[in-house]
Amino acid sequence: MRRVVFNQKGGVGKSSIAANLAAISASRGISTLLVDLDPQGNASQYLLGADYEASDRGIGDFFQDCLSFRLLEQEPARYIEETSFEGLDLIPSSPDLNELESKLQAKHKIYKFRELMDDLSAQYQAVYIDTPPAFNFFTLSALIAAEGCLIPFDCDDFSRRALYQLLENVEETRSDHNRELHVEGIVINQFLPRANLPRRLVEELCQEGLPVLATRLSSSVKMRESHDQSIPLIYLAPRHKLTTEFVALFEELAAAPVR
């Protein structure tokens, strides 16, 4: 399964969700790849820590090779960094992505990322793709390459208004570029069950028939500790409440019917 985590709004937990689901996948013996398409590199920093700055490979190299017609000379392994977590590999981000975007658009390279994922399909059973907080070239590339789309939602009215446009963008991509793409669900993140506004917003989304997943992810300082130590929750605190919620989310997705 190739799964993209996408929201056009920043600060909704995309990188945390992508990295922690990928870590749970790897912890269960599933060969797993995380791809960081966000120029901010939060997911890369999360998994590699200080080693991220020293990494000499990543998705920026791939897109540079696309522009210079060197892809046929390169093995996909050139772009992959092993993490310290067994079974979990990473294609790190690069700050060069911002500079590359206009060049890639001008050269119509929108399907190249899907070709890379196809080349790696025999090597990885699960792929998680973190995306920028924008509907841009890299997000569209990810949606074209993916089968499932997870949408983090952080329970405020601004996020709700943005959600409808986001769903339209995913549907347009499915119609124009990738018939295999589907929204797996909306992930309620940083949920405060005792607060009225979050409860009301979630109830209204469910009443509208939107694909809200049953699992709720709590707000917790443990996530900050996880980021600071560059250790996903399943390895840092396997019995913590937030970790068990991530595991429940992973199992909910795994139990969903294949589309």
Does position 4 have pLDDT exceeding 90, yes or no?
Answer: yes
Predicted TM-score (pTM) above 0.75: yes
Does position 162 have pLDDT exceeding 90, yes or no?
Answer: no
Per-residue pLDDT at 55: 80
Q: Binning pLDDT at 50, 70 and 90, where does residue 97 land? A: very high
Evaluate whether the domain defined by 2-255 bears CATH number 3.40.50.2000.
Answer: no
Does position 161 have pLDDT exceeding 90, yes or no?
Answer: no
Helix orientation angle between 157-176 and 196-207, rounded to the nearest 10 degrees: 30
Q: Binning pLDDT at 50, 70 and 90, where does residue 259 land? A: low
Top-confidence residue, 5 or 12: 5
d(CA 238, CA 8): 30
Length of the chain: 259
Which phi and psi angles does 118 have, rounded to 5°?
A: -65, -40
Using a pLDDT cut of 90, give the percent of the chain over it: 82
Q: Taking residues 225-231, what's their average pLDDT?
A: 97
Q: Taking residues 36-64, what's their average pLDDT?
A: 92
Using a pLDDT cut of 70, give the percent of the chain over it: 98
Q: Taking residues 21-30, what's their average pLDDT?
A: 98
Per-residue pLDDT at 213: 97
Task: List, in order, residues 6 or more apart from 53 with CB less than 8 Å away.
Answer: none
Q: Binning pLDDT at 50, 70 and 90, where does residue 71 land? A: confident
Q: Taking residues 16-21, what's their average pLDDT?
A: 98
Per the structure block, which two tokens stand in for 244? 């068990």
